């Protein structure tokens, strides 16, 4: 079985689906001859040509608006927003058009648009290349939000997303684009949306994460184990639809929860997770729900490592929960 990184897995998924379904088209800034700024679309232009791998102007609203029109006329576009920070000019097209046209047409017009975009910090990109805007899209009815943490899931989840009838925001953790490596089956397979994965079983505390933060949490859990803290680590994989049952089953077993994400804390996705757990598993909790997140500031350049949750911050949060009386 070949070993891939996330970039290679994404590229493989795109290639498989474009060969399988002639309606799939890729569009975005530099996705064609250049192969994308991170090389996620490398080689697709040469195989599928300029009619299916389309270099666009630097105009995000135009990219998504074009994709919406393509979907309405029967294509299955996969637009790329070069960095998630640049998705805001297309926000109106996404939340007021794309997220709504299947609903408002009574299902007559599906919305098979998968918006790929790298997100998050860790590459010293500063204010405009490091944001984590997932909560904006989870808040929007009609969208699905998917964030893989590893190559196997990246390929399988992307194939599932491209075969659905609803719009998907597919956010790729660029900090581990090449650092996260693993075995990826050749050929076609899918990972279902809405299915979390328990990556480490434990009885002492439930730790929830997704994307690049999963790797931080795994490191923290290993250090915590040396201190006698037995953490159960769950990779959410899809934020919407959320596999709430897996989360609640774990919380009812451990009685303690730590939620980790790199987006700002206030109104971040962790707040929704905490609310759901409090609503549905309050009597199982033995300590306040802990959240480890980015700070409520613009993403800093020189203080990037202080901003991002670290294994030390996560472990300290786990310890507070476990030691709470």
Sign of CA dihedral 319, 320, 321, 322: positive
* CA-wise closest residue to 110 among 67, 153, 142, 71: 71
CB atoms closer than 10 angstroms to residue 248: 16
Are 214 and 199 in contact by the 8 Å Cβ rule? The answer is yes
Q: Determine which one of 129, 139, 215, 261 is catalytic.
A: 129
Element (H, E) at 6: helix 6-20
Beta strand residue intervals within the chain, DSSP E: 3-5, 24-28, 53-55, 76-80, 114-119, 144-146, 168-173, 181-183, 197-200, 205-209, 231-235, 238-240, 257-264, 290-294
Full strand arrangement of the beta sheet holding 168-173: 53-55, 24-28, 76-80, 114-119, 168-173, 144-146, 238-240
Element (H, E) at 44: helix 44-48
Q: What is the DSSP string of 162-183?
A: HTSSS-EEEEEEGGGTTT-EEE
Rounded-to-integer distance, Cα 186 and Cα 271, Å: 38
Q: At what angle do helices 6-20 and 151-162 cross, to 10 degrees?
A: 30
Known catalytic membership, residue 139: no
**Catalytic sites, residue numbers:** 129
């Amino acid at each position: 079985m070949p070993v891939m990184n996330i970039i290679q897995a994404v590229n493989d998924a795109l290639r498989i689906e474009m060969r399988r379904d002639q309606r799939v088209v890729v569009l975005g800034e530099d996705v064609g001859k250049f192969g994308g700024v991170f090389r996620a679309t490398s080689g697709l232009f040469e195989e599928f040509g300029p009619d299916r791998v389309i270099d666009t102007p630097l105009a995000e609203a135009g990219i998504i608006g074009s994709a919406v029109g393509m979907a309405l006329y029967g294509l299955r576009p996969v637009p790329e927003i070069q960095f998630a920070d640049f998705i805001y000019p297309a926000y109106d097209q996404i939340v007021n058009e794309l997220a709504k046209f299947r609903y408002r047409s009574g299902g007559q017009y599906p919305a098979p648009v998968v918006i790929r975009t790298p997100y998050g910090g860790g590459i010293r990109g500063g204010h405009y290349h490091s944001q984590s805007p997932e909560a904006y899209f989870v808040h929007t009815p009609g969208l699905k939000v998917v964030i893989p943490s590893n190559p196997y899931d990246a390929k399988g989840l992307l194939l599932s997303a491209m075969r659905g009838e609803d719009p998907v925001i597919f956010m790729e953790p660029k900090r581990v684009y090449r650092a996260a490596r693993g075995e990826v089956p050749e050929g076609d397979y899918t990972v279902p949306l809405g299915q979390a994965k328990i990556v480490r079983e434990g009885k002492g505390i439930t730790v929830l994460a997704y994307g690049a933060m999963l790797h931080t949490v795994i490191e923290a859990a290993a250090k915590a184990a040396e201190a006698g803290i037995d953490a159960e680590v769950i990779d959410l994989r899809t934020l919407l639809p959320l596999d709430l049952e897996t989360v609640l089953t774990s919380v009812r077993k451990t009685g303690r929860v730590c939620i980790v994400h790199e987006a700002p804390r206030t109104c971040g996705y962790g707040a929704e997770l905490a609310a759901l757990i409090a609503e549905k598993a309050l009597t199982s909790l033995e300590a306040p729900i802990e959240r480890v997140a980015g700070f409520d500031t613009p993403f800093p350049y020189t203080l990037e490592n202080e901003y991002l949750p670290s294994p030390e911050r996560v472990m300290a949060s786990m310890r507070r929960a476990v030691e709470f009386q």
